[in-house]
Structure 1
Amino acid sequence: MESRNDSWSRPPLLLLLLFCLCANVSISLGSDTISANESLSGNQTLVSSGGGNFRLGFFRPGNSSFYYVGIWYNKVSVPTFAWVANREAPVTDPSTAQLKILDGNLVIVNGSSSPQSTLWSTNLSSPGSSSAQAMLLDNGNFVLRSHGSNTSRTLWQSFDHPTNTWLPGVKIGINKRTNRSQLLTSWKNQEDAAPGLFSLQLQPSSEYYIYWNMSEHFWTSGTWDPQGRLFSLVPEMRLNYIYNFSFVDNENESYFTYSVYNTSILSRFIMDFSGQVKQLSWLETTKQWNLFWSMPRQQCEVYRLCGPFGVCSETTDNFCQCLQGFTQKSPSEWNLSDWSGGCRRVTNLSCGPNKPANLRNDRFVELTYMKLPENPQSLGVEGTVGCQAVCLNNCSCTAYAYEDGTCSIWTGDLYNVQKYGQGNSNGKTLYLRLAASDVPESGNKSGTSAGIIAGSATAAAAVVLLAIVLFGAWRWRRAAGRSSTSQEGSLLAFGYRDLQTATRNFSEKLGGGGFGSVFKGTLADSSIVAVKQLEGMSQGEKQFRTEVSTIGTIQHVNLVRLRGFCSEGTRKLLVYEYMPNRSLDFHLFSPSNAPLDWGTRYQIALGTARGLTYLHEKCRDCIIHCDIKPENILLDAEFCPKVADFGLAKLMGREFSRVLTTMRGTRGYLAPEWISGVAITTKADVYSYGMMLFEFISGRRNSQQSEDGRVHFFPTLAAKKLAEGKDDLIELIDPRLERAADMDELVRLCRVACWCVQDEEKDRPSMGQVVQILEGVVDVTTPPIPRSLQVFSYDENQEHIVFFTESSSSGLSSNSRSNTSTNSITQ
């Protein structure tokens, strides 16, 4: 028996022999089997034979005082548990508890009581014989088998009773004969393996739901698409390189399962105590589980995540906070990221049946930019004053809101409250009822209509005072802008004349694009900035400042930082940090510059992908860039890439696409859906990124026209060579590199580029998946040649592209027709 605790003292040999004679423990070192006359307790463990991937025994998660019998990964340095037996009946002393076979069943008994109490059992209706054995398999399955003279029959297996982890080969589905379902149910928290609030269950409609407390479902996978081999609302499944998914539906059962192409990869799905189902793979290089995707994508979409009177925010590390005037019910649980207990009032309300309404001292605090709680009661009451009066006169009313002419009140606990960022257009105003002592004087709202009227004069005076303060703050910020003494992370409001002076009347132009021109400037503190003059603005002052404020809060190592802005009438300017190594196109396409070496190009490609992943998946509101191209990838002093102009698409509106299509160098990066008029998603950025990757490889523009009018279109050549499996991909790289490139990275980059430019956006990967591929976390298969690239036939002998129509196989000789066709394809 292998020990997990080497500090335990070893008993004298005589006592050890006596113990073995008296006890029924005879499991040998490294054994994978428990026989009918054996048991497991204390720090004894089983190790799966074959590969030793899994270990079974008693374990204690974290600093918990409870022990469980479970299965964990044997070769993973981070304690990771795949299955738990006695979730609802843990033990406090594993040395007095035993896992053994009793009357043909696997059981856990507590030996400290007399008679021994059964804590857990397989509860077989037809238990096995005395010859039954339990074996831990190398796929993580714990199997109880009955052995006859010539046969072996499986009586029970842990794969049929998963807990929170979905291992390869496990079925999560419905037994139609017994009408029973396999569930994935979360732990309560990271140190408590008891069943938590969140469960994943298959529905008869062939889709999965995530349930809260098995009563409310708040997420669905969408129905299974047998053609695409994915669930309709989980597009991440389409482009995977690790798993082979399968869905089975027959008269006996309906279930979903998966296998791993490369069995050396350790992978798992979990129903996490965060309320999200997650797909993870073990990354040995970083010694951690790498998150592939999670659903729901946003943590705050989880139903009742923060419990009663808790508020969720995507901008805070812990996601959950208590509403003003409330405190955590169980700080110890909150420290374990278990927020379900929610919050309690600091001070009880004064409202009660024995106190007249005119003597109650409850007040309301105004909470802005909120997602309102669930289950409001709508009332036919006019005005905020009337709405407040209704709530105040109802002792059960805890909050009210007056939005769009509708009065809503909430009684009892408040759930699913969410705090948006400053300026978020989805935010509403919630008035929360508190005891007067818990409302700061500056935030006091009178509990009666008379109080509101009486306070109107004070409010008017406060408005005047606020205007004076804001004017003073504006003057101070202008002065701060001139002296460049801004604090890290803050946005400065610059005056137009200040920026005119800083840029020497906009004399040194750094570049331009669909959003406007960029000029170099120097502030009063000698810091260098890049000033962008926005062109074609259609937004008003308030909306512009709101959107700029949102952009200013976004910071990432691969995103250009916004330092400030100017908004004076029709003059709209943005002030960014300056990038000394200019934009990527300057280094890729300029023949007079020294070429970027392969390693630098690859790191720029990876850093750009990380920046886009942050915009698409990590920001509070998903940001679609809409103009990815080398001109918008800037390089700092260390050639670290930083994506520029993010968030400006929302500032400009969809009409900006008309500007983009006329700009030189942008048309070739636009995804096909721009032309169709459908809603643009993040996959439009993926397409543009893919087109840009081809230029990383070749060191030239994708589409070039020679003097004789022939069009050279590099992506078609690259896709064709890749699809044919040719081993001369090294011929594709920039000739200035003289074939100096890592072949594995070259193949990876070519494959990613081709996947990114697939015609249908559902076939393209997410940027998060791109990052994982470029990091080498997952492999990438050879993609099909997109139809838009197949329209071009590449003549390798002549080294040019010939365009074919559907009705003719002959090349078009007309230069004008060739140019037009090329443009329509590459848009």
Structure 2
Amino acid sequence: LFSPLFLPFCPLRFLLPVTEMPRCTGSPSPWRRSRRRSDDAFWGPARGKKGEANEPHGTVGRSKALPLSMLLPALLCTYAVAAAALASTCDARSEPGTHQCRRDSGHKLGTSVLITGNSTLINQTFEIGFFTVDGGSRWYFGTWYASIPVRTYVWVANRDAPVSGGLTPATVWLTAEGLMTVRDNAGRDLWRTDNTEPAAEARLLETGNLVLLSADGSGRFVWQSFDRPADTWLPYMSVTSRGAITSWRSSADPSLGPYSLRLKPPDYGEFHLVYENSSAILPITYWSTGKWTGDRFTGVPEMSVPYIYNFRFDKPFTPEASFVYSEAPSDFASSFLTRFVVEPSGQLRQYTWSAQSSSWNMFWFRPENPCRVYALCGDTGFCREGGLHPCGCLAGFSPSDPAAWNDDDYSGGCSPETGSRCDADTAADGFEEVGLVDFDGASAVSFSSPSRDSCQQSCVRNCSCRGINFNPDTRLCRNLYGNLFNLRNSTAAPLLYLRVSTSSSSSQTRKKDGGGQWKAVAVSVGSIGVFLAISGSAVLAWALWWRGRKKREGIGGEGEEDVLANANLRVFSYKELSTATRGFSEELGHGGFGAVFRGELPDSTLVAVKRLERPGGGDREFRA
């Protein structure tokens, strides 16, 4: 009751905390950083027996010794500060959905509420509470950065079981059994910890690790969020053979996505990115770090740079393997915020926070080609390297889930606009030549066939057949079954003929995405020889001009698109050619009809692209 009376008589030095405690402020500061750790603890999680702390030194704070002569006044001041803190409340935070906070990031609880509604726990770097990403219909219990102005989530508890019906009924409890639970207004447990030893206290550490402490007062962790990560890998977080960093479903859906970063069995000597969902019998690897050499992974030479991170791989090539990283200590630079994220796009990306620009900078990601991410564009989705949105649908197809595509979730793929296979008379189905296209997922049944027509008929007779490959030289016919993931251009691939209903078949296949119909352009992917490229382009342009002249003079004949089809040329979009030529930046020469530019296709094929100065049929048509 009288504790505030001591405050005016406490020297400033006595008001310093005996143990470093988290602070709560009215608004976040982009300049605030977590305290620097001592050199003997920068490696972070200390490996030990089960139940031991997975933090530097296995403790939740560091004490500072006081001389005996200062002990009594320090105790009085500490008591006064603690009592005053308990009697006060925090100012409202400026971020929407958070209106109050607690001064201490630790709670000692029996059977009681830890967090309710819009209350949060906060320390210098992180904050934990309920958040929403869809405007308020679904609420999740999770952790985000409190020290920067950009709301960035790093951990989610109830990923697949959000609280619905508003924020008010959302509560987090520490039960009499020592378990932490997330409950809705009906008292149902939507999520709970799986610790076998009862916990008596919950605490949010400066590393972002939410921990439950044992009841015996030893400070041991009986449960920690670092053992149950979401999509983000933070410094000092150990990834073990039993753990995985798993993507969100989409940028607006924190539920479990299909992509994960894991230690690769059976030897656990490398990391790999895998695709896994209900239809996948086994996880499918689409990228790997390569084997551990003792100081780096063979496929990640950037790890050899010593002044950014420290890496530690305990017990590699065993089922007990665990890998951890931390910021490299420096006498010249302050601690920085950094994180690795398995994105909904399936890429592993590394970010650091820039205080100057108040934004996250991404300077490393794998795989570099998004079309290498297994099933990124879903079934029958077309993938193209470069651009903000890598996925599109072929003509006659449209996104199966347009709303999900708007959130960059392409996993639903594309569906025929005129109905699925076998809905009508399959004998009337046709085949559309897509081009030299590669894909993932589908299985093939190969056999000899006298003609392409015969090969197509063998496919039509089977309702599950999706399309064919046919080689007229070898007469090899391949009937394709299953999902056709990530259709993509490849000069090394055979011609793909996709099965479509007759009503959706057209004389020219074009690709499209949510932005509308892609303008048709044609490219020959032959030699890059400048002379041949310019000459060939000029001949083709002359042929098109001559055809247009004859047409204007009333002479009947085929249209331009038919000429191009008969010339067996490929079809590309304007955006694809702009990307391939780096914005038409490297001019090889100039002819009578326009300039010729050097380009490179996604499969590394070199091409020459000629831009017509007076294109017919559109101001952004190109022929090469």
* Matching residue of 1:103: 176
Task: Verify: 1:620 aligned to 2:602, yes or no.
Answer: yes
- Of 248, 272, 290, which aligns to 2:314? 248
- Structure 1: 5+ residue stretches without partners: 6-16, 18-26, 175-180, 445-466, 478-541, 568-572, 578-613, 625-827
* Matching residue of 1:285: 356
Q: Which SS does the other structure have where 1:55 is aligned?
A: strand
* Matching residue of 1:663: none
Q: Could you say which structure has the greater relative contact order, defined with CA pairs below 8 angstroms and 6 or more residues apart?
A: 2
* Matching residue of 1:83: 155
The answer (yes or no) to whether the contact 2:250–2:408 under 8 Å persists in 1 is yes
Task: Verify: 1:34 aligned to 2:101, yes or no.
Answer: no
Matches of 1:311 and 1:471 in 2, distance apart? 32
* Matching residue of 2:443: 375
Distance 1:233 1:566, change over 3 A: farther
* Matching residue of 2:504: 438
Distance 1:575 1:303, change over 3 A: closer
Alignment of 1:557-568 (within 5 A): 560-562=585-587, 564-565=589-590
Distance 1:393 1:146, change over 3 A: closer
Matches of 2:136 and 2:501 in 1, distance apart? 37
Task: Verify: 1:208 aligned to 2:271, yes or no.
Answer: yes
Matches of 1:119 and 1:327 in 2, distance apart? 36
Matches of 2:498 and 2:541 in 1, distance apart? 27
* Matching residue of 1:46: 121
Larger gyration radius, structure 1 or structure 2: 1
The one-letter code of the counterpart of 2:103 is G
Deviation at 1:371, TM superposition (A): 1.3
TM normalised by structure 1 equals: 0.49
The answer (yes or no) to whether the contact 2:459–2:467 under 8 Å persists in 1 is yes
RMSD across aligned positions (CA): 3.7
Deviation at 1:54, TM superposition (A): 0.6
The answer (yes or no) to whether the contact 1:164–1:186 under 8 Å persists in 2 is yes
Task: Verify: 1:159 aligned to 2:226, yes or no.
Answer: yes
- Of 359, 366, 370, which aligns to 1:299? 370
- Cα deviation, 1:34-87, whole Å, max 9, x if unaligned, reads 220452111111112xxx111111011254621111110112222211111111
- Of 402, 409, 412, which aligns to 1:331? 402
The one-letter code of the counterpart of 1:65 is S
Task: Verify: 1:120 aligned to 2:191, yes or no.
Answer: yes
The answer (yes or no) to whether the contact 2:102–2:119 under 8 Å persists in 1 is no
The one-letter code of the counterpart of 2:143 is I
Distance 1:350 1:142, change over 3 A: closer
- Cα deviation, 1:251-284, whole Å, max 9, x if unaligned, reads 7720111010256211111111111111111122
- Cα deviation, 1:318-349, whole Å, max 9, x if unaligned, reads 11112332211111111111111112221136
Alignment of 1:580-729 (within 5 A): 620-621=602-603
* Matching residue of 2:430: 363
- Structure 2: 5+ residue stretches without partners: 1-23, 29-86, 88-99, 277-281, 511-537, 549-567, 607-624
Deviation at 1:3, TM superposition (A): 8.9
Deviation at 1:313, TM superposition (A): 1.2
Matches of 2:469 and 2:130 in 1, distance apart? 52
- Of 261, 266, 291, which aligns to 2:328? 261
Matches of 2:539 and 2:219 in 1, distance apart? 86
The answer (yes or no) to whether the contact 1:221–1:232 under 8 Å persists in 2 is yes
More helix by share: 1
Q: Which SS does the other structure have where 1:224 is aligned?
A: coil
- Cα deviation, 1:410-441, whole Å, max 9, x if unaligned, reads 134422322x2xxx633542111111111125
The answer (yes or no) to whether the contact 2:132–2:140 under 8 Å persists in 1 is yes
Distance 1:341 1:4, change over 3 A: farther
Deviation at 1:576, TM superposition (A): 7.2
* Matching residue of 1:186: 247
Matches of 1:187 and 1:2 in 2, distance apart? 30
Distance 1:393 1:252, change over 3 A: closer
Matches of 1:196 and 1:107 in 2, distance apart? 24
More strand by share: 2
* Matching residue of 2:213: 145
The answer (yes or no) to whether the contact 1:2–1:44 under 8 Å persists in 2 is no
The answer (yes or no) to whether the contact 1:552–1:561 under 8 Å persists in 2 is no
Distance 1:362 1:102, change over 3 A: same
The one-letter code of the counterpart of 1:248 is D
- Cα deviation, 1:799-819, whole Å, max 9, x if unaligned, reads xxxxxxxxxxxxxxxxxxxxx
The one-letter code of the counterpart of 2:479 is I
* Matching residue of 1:345: 416
The one-letter code of the counterpart of 1:258 is Y
Matches of 2:352 and 2:139 in 1, distance apart? 26
Matches of 1:286 and 1:382 in 2, distance apart? 64
Deviation at 1:108, TM superposition (A): 2.9
Matches of 2:355 and 2:205 in 1, distance apart? 23
* Matching residue of 1:136: 204
TM normalised by structure 2 equals: 0.64
Alignment of 1:450-599 (within 5 A): 471-473=542-544, 554-556=580-582, 560-562=585-587, 564-565=589-590
The one-letter code of the counterpart of 1:210 is L
The answer (yes or no) to whether the contact 2:470–2:494 under 8 Å persists in 1 is no
Q: Which SS does the other structure have where 1:145 is aligned?
A: strand
The answer (yes or no) to whether the contact 2:101–2:122 under 8 Å persists in 1 is no
The answer (yes or no) to whether the contact 1:136–1:142 under 8 Å persists in 2 is yes
Task: Verify: 1:389 aligned to 2:450, yes or no.
Answer: no
Distance 1:393 1:38, change over 3 A: closer
The one-letter code of the counterpart of 2:122 is V
The answer (yes or no) to whether the contact 1:63–1:191 under 8 Å persists in 2 is no
Deviation at 1:287, TM superposition (A): 2.5
Deviation at 1:211, TM superposition (A): 1.6
* Matching residue of 1:739: none
The answer (yes or no) to whether the contact 1:399–1:430 under 8 Å persists in 2 is yes
* Matching residue of 1:661: none
Matches of 2:577 and 2:142 in 1, distance apart? 47
Q: Which SS does the other structure have where 2:452 is aligned?
A: helix
The answer (yes or no) to whether the contact 1:552–1:562 under 8 Å persists in 2 is no
Deviation at 1:564, TM superposition (A): 4.5
Distance 1:330 1:64, change over 3 A: farther
The answer (yes or no) to whether the contact 1:2–1:45 under 8 Å persists in 2 is no
Task: Verify: 1:409 aligned to 2:479, yes or no.
Answer: yes
| Identical pairs, percent | 32
Task: Verify: 1:224 aligned to 2:272, yes or no.
Answer: no
Distance 1:468 1:563, change over 3 A: closer
The one-letter code of the counterpart of 1:562 is E
* Matching residue of 2:53: none
* Matching residue of 2:138: 66
Q: Which SS does the other structure have where 1:197 is aligned?
A: strand
Matches of 2:460 and 2:386 in 1, distance apart? 32
The answer (yes or no) to whether the contact 2:171–2:183 under 8 Å persists in 1 is yes
Distance 1:265 1:217, change over 3 A: same
Q: Which SS does the other structure have where 1:416 is aligned?
A: strand
Deviation at 1:400, TM superposition (A): 0.8
The answer (yes or no) to whether the contact 1:351–1:362 under 8 Å persists in 2 is no
Distance 1:125 1:430, change over 3 A: same
The answer (yes or no) to whether the contact 2:310–2:325 under 8 Å persists in 1 is yes
Q: Which SS does the other structure have where 1:225 is aligned?
A: coil
The answer (yes or no) to whether the contact 2:469–2:478 under 8 Å persists in 1 is yes
Distance 1:135 1:349, change over 3 A: closer
Matches of 1:64 and 1:325 in 2, distance apart? 37
Matches of 1:313 and 1:102 in 2, distance apart? 51
Q: Which SS does the other structure have where 1:112 is aligned?
A: coil
